[in-house]
Structure 1
Amino acid sequence: MSDTAARLVALVREGLGVPFPLRLRAWDGSEAGPPQQPVVVVRDRRALHRLMWRPGELGLARAWVAGEIDVEGDLYQALGRMSDVVPERYRARGRTGLMRALSVLVDVRTFNRAARLLAVAGPALPPPPPAEEVARRHGARHTLRRDRAVVSHHYDVGNDFYALVLGPSMVYSCGYWTAQDGPGATLEDAQRDKLELICRKLALRPGQRLLDVGCGWGAMAMHAAEHHGVHAVGVTLSAEQATLARERVAAAGLTDRVEIRVQDYREVTDGPFDAVSSIGMAEHVGACRYQVYANTLHRLLRPGGRLLNHQIARRPLPDEQTYRTNTFIDRYVFPDGELAPLGRTVSLLERAGFEVRDVEALREHYALTLRAWVANLERHWAQAVRLTSPGRARVWRLYMAASALSFERNRLGVNQVLAVRTAPDGVSGMPPVRGAWAVHDHAG
């Protein structure tokens, strides 16, 4: 069928209402669409079978992870051009990146002509999902048992794989790209500066106790102990993270000041702490448990203790009842992860008793960080595939590239919220001048 690509492009054009902005190559070698553009490659007609059985985003995600659909050329350009022409009704469903943009291509309900897609692909039974898709989840969302299982799906994929993507810092959250570091700033510079920024906002001093919730591979706890003299407790639900974090702590000679636990934040009972950091962890908490999260951290802080909550935020929708977790992200990246608007997060922290003193948006910083991670992954692609699987590497490349564009285009944000547990008499212990609350004696 030498006209396969042309027929597919016609279907997409019909669904979009505008010309397809990319070139398309089908499994038979046929091509259609504008030249000199990134190429969407449909390598196998099985991709269309997936889309017929699961129209929309999930079918497309499975085809991408299985390698049946690919992009040749600049992935960011391809994502951006498709996103520019997506009808507004798709944006309102909470979809992001390629999964939102290309879902128009395969949503049979949009075309209302399933027979035409069937004529191109041919009949077939539904292909099994790729192995990288999260297994069926049991029990209520965000219970201790279920949270441990879904966190393991994302984080226990191999410390060596994460080292390729994240670099030596092993920090899996937005960096802080400062002007002082100059145009040659590295990912390591940005992550070091982010950790230092958080320590300064918390005004950490020698001898204080810090709780780092969702400590990952221990970078925040180690930085705070080494450079600010604190005694840090880091908690994570990932056994693999904890193993490497403890090794890193020992190698740095910090075992007397840093403790790493495999523990849920709800199980921490040895407060009070002088400060709490939560960096890129609250996205896993879920709307149904966020008040419990805020209440728990408030309880664990002494009066006058500070919380630094570093969290991704989505834009509020006109009708919040329409929000659904992104299918691709939920099935392949962050199972049960949920994003909330910044205003809701601040309100729930205040309801727990916190006084919110400062909010800093780092949206552009996360876009730079994600692009650096994608570059690391692409540079070490063959090794990443050997360490995990081709499908897993494809999941990470797509979600990070698509997320970078979402931050660049202001569809996602990330914010550091600095809050304090005030004393019963209302004393916060914080200087009244905004720039002064981070002034402290540096320990190292």
Structure 2
Amino acid sequence: MGSTSQSARGIKAQGGPLLYPRQQWRCCLHPQDPNTPTLFRPLKIRDVVLKNRVIVAPMCMYSAEPDPSSPAVGALTDYHVAHLGHFAIKGAGLIIIEATAVQPNGRISPYDSGLWKDGHESEQFKGIQRVANFVHSQGAKIGIQLAHAGRKASTVEPWVASSGSGTAKADESVFGWPADVVGPSGGEEHIWSQGDKFWPPRELRTDEVEEIVRAFARSAKLAVEAGIDVIEIHAAHGYLLHQFLSPVTNRRTDKYGGSFENRIRLVHEVASAVRAAIPVGTPLFLRISATDWLENQPVAAETGSWDLESSFQLAKLLPGLGVDFLDVSSGGNHAAQKIEPHTNYQIDLAGQIRKEIHAAGQTTLVGAVGLITEAESAREITQGADEASAAESMISGHSPKADALLMARQFLREPEWVLKAAKALNVPVSVPVQFGRAIV
């Protein structure tokens, strides 16, 4: 793409045409109006101010270059600029880039994004920079979710796996790495799902675990240098950090296994290393699965599992790690999980964790995610989470479940969800000037 410059009117290629105009539109014209829902009030986290509390959650697109011999392996492409950029155009306060691997074998599939190559000249760095530049030009903030897939790695794209092949495995013929799928514990008994669908992991050596900590820190530093505003560490959905947290998947006998303190050690070290690697003003998020959903299941009878009480304990340690925001999801760590999804099944988990955090006198922010589709229910999740509406909520008895909400699939269905929600909640908003003729 070549070098670029920024001006009051937009982003330009050096010596070239205007690439895209800059917008400074706001999601709410009157954020201090007492009638403005908390959902549409700004949220300040360290030095970053989100113009509203609607966050686009990370969504894997399986659309990056898979060939390890290509300089563009793992790099975001024009597809990602279009995919992520249109959420910024249409009002989201923060857009989080999909799970981005900190090591090559940390990708879910060969087609996943990654940020493991050093230097500002790598295609991985440039791809993230392009997305960040565009999102910023539209008045939104951009985050990235740093991840390692662990035993869920080296799979084909989901639409290929569901096409009738009977397997999700990606072998060397499609750029997979079956011999380097890793986890806290190894062997056939630790395959994510039995049958011929996933590779058996090998157990990570202690020194390899320590290198993963350094990899997260390096990737976080590069991401911020590329223009990323918010770093999120992925410790949910049965990926590597979650695998270490849960006694169902972590049978280690070294310093990273056994007791609760040992099982959270990797998350503790990764969060501390990332916090040290990024500027003090950069917010740090952590996504967890609040529960494995294995309570009373035979697989957890002997070892126990990661449950809500475990999440309470971890949440209270986060201020000491420099984590500002806990993104609460659930499940994904074992095929025997028993989940009965309903409208508030994860939102209630977030609300319980937030209540525990506040009871401990702490202020870690909490995000809710899962089956959020309607404006009014979204309003209720966050209402009262800011100072301006807290008193009103106390009087009414309403307790907020979260400080912000994250949405994924609903944005695929309705990229303009923020604009529709504003209209439904009677919140006056400004819009991109190019869209002015269409807004009534």
TM-score, normalised relative to structure 1: 0.24
Whose helix proportion is higher, 1 or 2? Answer: 1
TM-score, normalised relative to structure 2: 0.24
If you compute each CA radius of gyration, which structure gives the higher value, 1 or 2? 1
